[in-house]
Amino acid sequence: MIKIINIYGRKTKRFLHFNELNLEIFVLLLFAINSADSADRSSLTNLHLKTNQPTVLDITTTTPRYNPNKIPRSLRLPNTTYPLSYHLHIVSYVHREEFQYNGNITIEILVRESTNEIVLHAKNLTVTAISMRELNTHVTLDDLTYTYNERANFLIIHPIENYQAFEAGQRYRLEILYKGFFQENSYGIYWMAYKDEKNGTVYEIATHFEPTSARLAFPCYDEPSFKANFTISLTHSNYYTAISNMLVRQIEPYIDVNGALGGIDGPMLTTTFHATPAISTYLVAFVISDFVYISEEYHGVLQRIFTPPHVADKGRRALKNAVRALSKFEDYFGIDYVLPKLDHIILKRSPAAMENWGLITYVGDALMNWDDVGSSKMQFDVIVQNHEIAHQWFGNLVSPQWWSYAWLNEGFATYFSYVVTDLLYPDYKIMDYFLIYVADDAYSTIGIRPMTYYLENSSEIRKVFDSITYHRAACVIKMFHHAFNQKTFVRGISQYLRKYQYSVANELNLIDELQAAIATDVTFSQAVWSKNSVRDIMLSWTHSSAIPIVSISRDYEYNTITIKQRSKDQSSLEYWWIPLNFASASAPDFQRTTVDYFMPPVPEVTLSASELGIELRIDDWLIVNKQQTGFYHVLYNDANLWLIAKQLHDNHTVIHPLNRAAIFQDLGYRIRNNNLQSVDVIFKLLSYLQHEKELVLWVQVADTILYLCSTLYGTSSRQMYTKFVRQLVKPMFTEIFEKPVQQNLTNTEVFAREKIMEIACWVDLPECLTYTHNVVRDRLVDSEARRNQKKYYGNSDFSDTLLLCLGMRYLHDGEFNAMLNTLSNGDRDTHPWYDDLIYALRCTQNQTYLQQYLNFLLGENSTKSIMDDNESMMYLVYMLRSNRAAHTVVWQFLEHNYQVLCRKDCFLRIFNRIAEYVPRSYLEQFKYLRQKIALQPKKVDENEFLIDVDSPSIGRRVEKSEIFVQKFNNQVYEWLQKHYVEDGIINFI
């Protein structure tokens, strides 16, 4: 061993371990490493591969006398060192079905604080050699080894004996040779294959690193705040091409381990790309494939759509959209896209579309065949593409400091993809779709977690990419975009992007830039909150897991308004800064959506109309939250609702369509929670719908109508209620369905058509029953008519499952028997409608058919097992959840077949879910049935248990419906009886 002393002017112990490395090779490699600079790393890589020897230090045989794993560790990287640049070289032989690859990663590292270790991530990689040298002195550190921390995926490089080996301010070059495997799943570097008529099976590799999968591909600092420049080299067959985040710098013939050009089965190339800007590891990307591309350059940015050769030229419309969208984002935020190119590539599989900087990956048929698919499918693809393009600013140019702030990426990309799409394609009415798709989902996420949420391990990080991060965040961003004045908000966002470009940010960085923009807006010069309260305002939303309910009541004598707030989550006592704006009969301006009044985080305030800046007469209606820009529910007192109802009957167009829709969305909450004084005003509001043509409103009222339809099942009111709703929905159904189907439907139109059809059929509108029954006949019975089904029923935009379900409500005996025969004799794997048929048959209203259906799926004499026990048992839950006519049948089936069902592994778990639908009228019978089940021998998992006889879960799914019937059925009956005329016409006066 050679002892080296006083490298840094102090005594240290450093050792070289030669092992099998002969002196000649050692001198050669040491010279190469000490003399190589960042411009010739590729030649050094080839040198390693030629010699097939470790670089300087063979760490595989070193036994450390210091174990870093004995130190308690966070799952987060320490901040003692930082990567400045990476040089990554991957050698792939995937073209010959070899799924292991050779990797070489060189990282230039800055030491921020003196430390005895360098910690980075690696997972499922085999390290073969490590070398490190200090860049100022070119001295090689030769007494190093490494330890792996499996819990944190940490590769810890440290001296064999414990001492402070890395000094603050020094820069080091770390080189690691390793081997990895291309993954079969779609994370890290993964492989795919497809069949090509000319060349047979063609393989390709691609990457998906978000959020923590870069460590599966190469050792790195795999956290978003550790940004660095990447230079990437990919060695591959000359039959393939390679793309990455940046444009190609050079392509060279590859010299293999024997010093020959190419590999054993043909020439190979090494493609090297230009260095990226500072970029987080999760945004690094590359693809090796035989794909071809079409391209267009605009304002100095080259955009390309890559597809397999057999679908070349299919992405023309997607390319046009990409060019337009990128330009619109640049104009909207006043910040240019900073890379020279932006590629879009369609992959056979991927976890999702991914916004890698300069190389966006998509899955399936996204971006292709836009001329051949339904318009709504194309619109959805446009949103997806524009979402990923938005990420080039939100996430790529400015990245989140940590995954707690993932909503800074996904929330902004979601919301502004809709904004820009609306600017580019106003005929899509895409902001209506935002309400019925994004906002509706966001309103359903209560009490899960707030937008800003601390987490550490990889599984938690993956879970943060949910509807809260995407949809709730988008709704909150939309709210403040409007409340803070749209131009002012965008100016603040632009300042934020400029200030933190090529860097990382957290929510306070964003909020402070918005505060700076708002402070200069003369619109808010008199508002106290505008000077220094934006932090408090926005944090009350980003750190809340609940949603506010705002209650509005009026004192008509003194013309005051009392505003109350509470959480939709009844267990929460939190309060928010809530931006409110107002419209009234005297001032019906719904266009200005800037905040009129910020309600502070208190339970209640009472102010005069003049204090709120509202023009309001005693007999005026008042509406809060113009165009549903705020992310909260609004509940009005009955007196104000009567005034609104009068306006809707007199001239409903005075009130903005989105506010008309909001009235029914918010009423739905009151109805479901039995928060009503009287149903009279509810039915007065509903009765105007015979004149309503706005689709977004029908979407938002549909669930309320259907809820009442289900709740009133079996009551004295049900028959009159269904006749009432038939009169409401018939004009809209006739207008939509009794004419040829349009082929260019928007997303909102498709969704509204489904909702209107669902309402019409569930109240037995004859025209709807005939229409959907024809669908069942054409698709499942009459093969000849199936050829013409597109003419009558449109394209794949429409939900086949819903159509079939509604068409199954009233079948003839021969038709139902034909369905069961198809299930008995058909092949689930090959029949195109098999699964849809199984699912749709649950919708029949004939109790004899329902009994036969359950016997076929689960009965003791069932002769064909078409699904596993868990899947078939779930149909009991589906029927209870969606078909009131099936409830009696399900309970009878359980009583007669519980002995057979108890032998199924999953029975207890399913039975416990079924218990949630027990009505009070059946409670004693249920307890008796449960007692008999408890005495049966059962196949059970050790974690399964039989629900307790006094469990509060029993009947919880039907409890509110039963309370509604108990409290309001008589009122519903009296209202309908009073307004129903013998000839079947509702008197709406």
Task: Give the span between the Cα atoms of 975 and 680, in whole angstroms.
Answer: 7
Cα distances (Å, whole numbers) of residue 824 to 779, 827, 838, 843, 852: 18, 9, 11, 19, 13
Cβ count near 67 (within 10 Å): 11
Q: Look at residues 983, 925, 975 and name the one whose alpha carbon lies nearest to residue 954.
A: 925
Strand order in the sheet with 229-237: 139-140, 126-134, 171-181, 100-111, 81-91, 229-237, 268-273, 248-253
Q: Which single residue is written with the structure tokens 């868990």?
A: 870
- Give the helix/strand (H/E) hosting 482: helix 473-483
Cβ count near 426 (within 10 Å): 10
Using CB atoms within 10 Å of the CB of residue 924, give its burial: 0 to 12 exposed, 13 to 18 middle, 19+ buried: exposed
Task: Give the span between the Cα atoms of 522 and 538, in whole angstroms.
Answer: 20
Q: Which two tokens stand for residue 901?
A: 């069902």
Q: Look at residues 864, 869, 914 and name the one whose alpha carbon lies nearest to residue 894.
A: 914
∠ at Cα 29 (27, 35), nearest 5°? Answer: 100
Q: Give 544-568 as a DSSP string.
A: -SS-EEEEEEEETTTTEEEEEEEES
Q: Which two tokens stand for residue 897?
A: 């077949």
Contact yes or no for 341/325 (Cβ under 8 A): no
Pairing of strands 126-134, 139-140: antiparallel
Q: Is 410 annotated among the ligand-binding residues?
A: yes
Q: Look at residues 340, 568, 618, 555 and name the one whose alpha carbon lies nearest to residue 443.
A: 568
Within 4-40, residue ranges assigned H as helices are 23-35
Catalytic residue among 388, 513, 754, 916: 388
∠ at Cα 591 (587, 595), nearest 5°? Answer: 85
Radius of gyration of the CA atoms of the chain, in A: 33
Q: Look at residues 274, 306, 312, 301 and name the one whose alpha carbon lies nearest to residue 287.
A: 306
Cβ count near 988 (within 10 Å): 16
Q: Look at residues 225, 247, 228, 215 and name the one whose alpha carbon lies nearest to residue 103.
A: 215
Pairing of strands 341-347, 301-307: parallel
Q: In 3-state terms, what secondary structure has residue 769?
A: helix
Pairing of strands 633-636, 548-555: parallel
Q: Look at residues 601, 796, 777, 755 and name the one whose alpha carbon lies nearest to residue 664.
A: 755
| Beta-carbon contacts of residue 799 (< 8 Å; ≥ 6 apart) | 754
Residue 360, strand partner residues: 344
Task: Give the span between the Cα atoms of 886 and 845, in whole angstroms.
Answer: 7
Phi, psi of 550 (to 5 degrees): -105, 125
Contact yes or no for 144/156 (Cβ under 8 A): no
Q: Which single residue is written with the structure tokens 């704006």?
A: 581
Q: Which two tokens stand for residue 419?
A: 């904004």
Q: Is 391 annotated among the ligand-binding residues?
A: yes
Contact yes or no for 662/636 (Cβ under 8 A): no
Contact yes or no for 562/555 (Cβ under 8 A): yes
Task: Give the span between the Cα atoms of 98 and 92, in whole angstroms.
Answer: 8
Q: What sign has the CA pseudo-torsion 442, 448, 450, 454?
A: negative
Does residue 982 have an active-site annotation?
Answer: no
Contact yes or no for 135/171 (Cβ under 8 A): yes
Distance between alpha carbon 216 and the CA centroid of its chain, in Å?
23
Show binding-site residues for Zn(2+). 387, 391, 410
Q: Among all residues, which ones are annotated catalytic? A: 388
Q: Which residues are annotated as a binding site?
A: 387, 391, 410
